[in-house]
Chain A
Amino acid sequence: MNPFTYRRATTAPEAAAAAALPGHRLLGGGTNLVDLMRKGVEHPETLIDVTGFSQQIELTPGGGLLIGGAVRNSALAAHPQVRRDYPLLSRAVLTGASAQIRNMATVAGNVMQRTRCTYFADPAASRCNKRVPGSGCDAQGGFTRYHAILGGSSACIATHPSDMCVALAALDATLHLLGPDGPRALPLSEFHRLPGDTPHLETELRPGEIITGVELPPPLPAMRSAYRKVRDRASYAFALVSVGACITVENGHFAEIRLAFGGIAHRPWRATRAEAALRSGPATPEAVEAALKLEFAEARPLDGNAFKLPLARRSAAALLAQLIGETA
């Protein structure tokens, strides 16, 4: 690990000002950043600990919930309001990592966590366009079990590994950011970028901006939601494929449907095409099947992850069938 200095910020504006300085990086729980520093992937000169503020979960005037960026993943999953009104979020967070890691990991750090692509994490022996722009991508033609089937590019096929973000996408969450030009808000589904030619640019966060919180809109009446995660072992493993969904059904039709996938793309994948095809239409297996086919029409699976295409479709179909059953 390269030498660095460490200090604690006590307010969001102080952290944002520090984040604008060269070589400075924000430190949440450190479960991703410390690991990547030890592996020689990240080389900050100064770490700004941001766990000392933005620690609350509060009701918003509109009846939603505002979750501070420094709230720990375990506290988020256990919060009574989250369990009652947004069980999808509790469920998704609880499937992630281990209890120890969830006690350390912050909400903002979870959103900002980097890919688990093994070639990205291996500066000694692998080429990676994300780590060294223009150097090449050893994942292409390599071990691609954990790589993208949607939205990838010839420069990068890495996936965003977060479970929490899949739930946030399906819940229509908004990120609160603070930067040199003041605060702004951005839908979570628009925050992470697709790789294109610039896989090193992973989010819409501008220099000197920090995440101060995540806002959930008020829960819809009679909304049913669930999260399903498929992985190589029953616990303590990243998703091969995961899916989160929220639906409301009226007279056998989808009044609302929000669907998101994890483990298959460079960002938490909001299935906007399938949603548009299903919204206001009949809540039937046939309609769901057709909508999922549409969603995955441009999927580009590789030899090592071709199984993900049927797996993602089947998982989503089963999850939606379960939710439709619950509304009957």
Chain B
Amino acid sequence: MAITINGTEVPLPEDPRMSLAEFLRDGLHLTGTKIGCNQGGCGACTVLIDGQRVLSCLTLAVQAEGREVTTIEGLSSGDDLHPLQEAFIAHDGFQCGYCTPGQICAATAMLRELAEGMPSSVTGDLSRPAPLTAEEIRERMSGNLCRCGAHNGIIAAILQVAQEGAA
């Protein structure tokens, strides 16, 4: 009865009502993960489960039993930033920063999906791997809203990391 969070096994919360987002923030004090809408509409709560991006506000913590959760805290090590974090700073990919952990977790998984050839709704030819374009990245990141409107910087940051193949 445990979840692995950023490489460490932790016991499940007793109350199955607790969402993964609440468990991370209130139970484990991993407050990098943010809760915006709490209803699936904004992406601020995005984390990775077994490498896949999901919304922690609509995931019950018990659903993640036996699985590996990675949060924004698990992407960097100490002061060594993840390449996406560096790029977000370089491209002004945020203002208030509230959406940023969700954006970066989503982008991490998105780059892997793109590398694996997963299509998106703007992919012209479904029989081939999608091209690496701003349009593709914009569509694939549309599940993460930014109230500050930093989307152009966000797309530029992700595109740069994708082109460098550094993520």
Stretch at the interface among A94-102, A303-311, A312-320: A94-102
The answer to whether B143 and A100 touch across the interface, beta carbons within 8 angstroms, is yes
A91 to B118, CA, bound (A): 12
**Chain A residues with Cβ under 8 A from B118's Cβ?**
74, 77-78
The answer to whether A235 and B142 touch across the interface, beta carbons within 8 angstroms, is yes
Within 8 A of B (CB), among A1-44: 1, 3-6, 27, 29-31, 34-35, 38-39
A87 to B126, CA, bound (A): 7
The answer to whether B142 and A98 touch across the interface, beta carbons within 8 angstroms, is yes
Which chain A residue has the least Cβ–Cβ distance from B142? A235
Closest CB in chain A relative to B134 CB, distance in Å: 14
Contact of B43 with A by CB under 8 A: yes
Contact of B72 with A by CB under 8 A: no
A103 to B59, CA, bound (A): 12
Given contacts A100-B46, A100-B106, A236-B142, contact A94 B121 (CB under 8 A): yes
Closest 3 CB pairs of A and B: A98-B143, A235-B142, A94-B121
**Chain B residues with Cβ under 8 A from A35's Cβ?**
39-40, 58
The answer to whether B119 and A78 touch across the interface, beta carbons within 8 angstroms, is yes
Given pairs A6-B63, A100-B106, A104-B54, 16 additional interface contacts (CB within 8 A): A4-B17, A27-B63, A49-B63, A77-B119, A78-B117, A91-B126, A94-B120, A98-B144, A99-B53, A99-B110, A99-B140, A100-B143, A101-B55, A101-B58, A103-B52, A103-B53
Within 8 A of B (CB), among A220-275: 234-236
The 8 Å CB contact of B60, one of A30, A77, A91, A95, is A30
Given contacts A30-B60, A99-B53, A104-B58, contact A83 B127 (CB under 8 A): yes
Contact of B69 with A by CB under 8 A: no
A29 to B53, CA, bound (A): 13
Which chain B residue has the least Cβ–Cβ distance from A78? B118
The answer to whether B39 and A38 touch across the interface, beta carbons within 8 angstroms, is yes
**Chain B residues with Cβ under 8 A from A189's Cβ?**
none
Closest CB in chain B relative to A248 CB, distance in Å: 19
**Chain A residues with Cβ under 8 A from B52's Cβ?**
74, 103
Which chain A residue has the least Cβ–Cβ distance from B55? A100
A290 to B63, CA, bound (A): 51
**Chain B residues with Cβ under 8 A from A90's Cβ?**
119, 126
The answer to whether A99 and B40 touch across the interface, beta carbons within 8 angstroms, is no
Contact of B4 with A by CB under 8 A: no
Contact of B68 with A by CB under 8 A: no
A35 to B119, CA, bound (A): 27
Which chain A residue has the least Cβ–Cβ distance from B66? A8
Contact of B139 with A by CB under 8 A: yes
Given contacts A34-B60, A35-B39, contact A100 B127 (CB under 8 A): no
Return the CB mask of B101-139 against A: 1 if under 8 Å, else 0.
000001001100100011111010011000000000011
Return the CB mask of A175-198 against B: 1 if under 8 Å, else 0.
000000000000000000000000
A97 to B55, CA, bound (A): 12
The 8 Å CB contact of A1, one of B17, B40, B106, is B17
The answer to whether A99 and B113 touch across the interface, beta carbons within 8 angstroms, is yes
The answer to whether A84 and B127 touch across the interface, beta carbons within 8 angstroms, is yes
The answer to whether B55 and A31 touch across the interface, beta carbons within 8 angstroms, is yes
List 6 A-B pairs, Cβ < 8 Å: A4-B16, A30-B63, A34-B58, A91-B121, A236-B142, A236-B143
A97 to B143, CA, bound (A): 8
Contact of B62 with A by CB under 8 A: yes
**Chain A residues with Cβ under 8 A from B110's Cβ?**
99
A273 to B157, CA, bound (A): 50
A271 to B109, CA, bound (A): 39
Within 8 A of B (CB), among A75-114: 77-78, 83-84, 87, 90-91, 94-95, 97-101, 103-104
The answer to whether B17 and A83 touch across the interface, beta carbons within 8 angstroms, is no
A1 to B39, CA, bound (A): 13
Given contacts A77-B119, A91-B121, contact A101 B16 (CB under 8 A): no
**Chain B residues with Cβ under 8 A from A104's Cβ?**
54-55, 58-59
Given contacts A6-B60, A100-B54, contact A31 B40 (CB under 8 A): yes
**Chain B residues with Cβ under 8 A from A5's Cβ?**
16
Contact of B160 with A by CB under 8 A: no
**Chain A residues with Cβ under 8 A from B40's Cβ?**
31, 35, 97, 101
Which chain B residue has the least Cβ–Cβ distance from A233? B142
The answer to whether B16 and A6 touch across the interface, beta carbons within 8 angstroms, is yes
**Chain B residues with Cβ under 8 A from A95's Cβ?**
121
Contact of B38 with A by CB under 8 A: yes
**Chain B residues with Cβ under 8 A from A94's Cβ?**
119-121, 123
Contact of A47 with B by CB under 8 A: yes
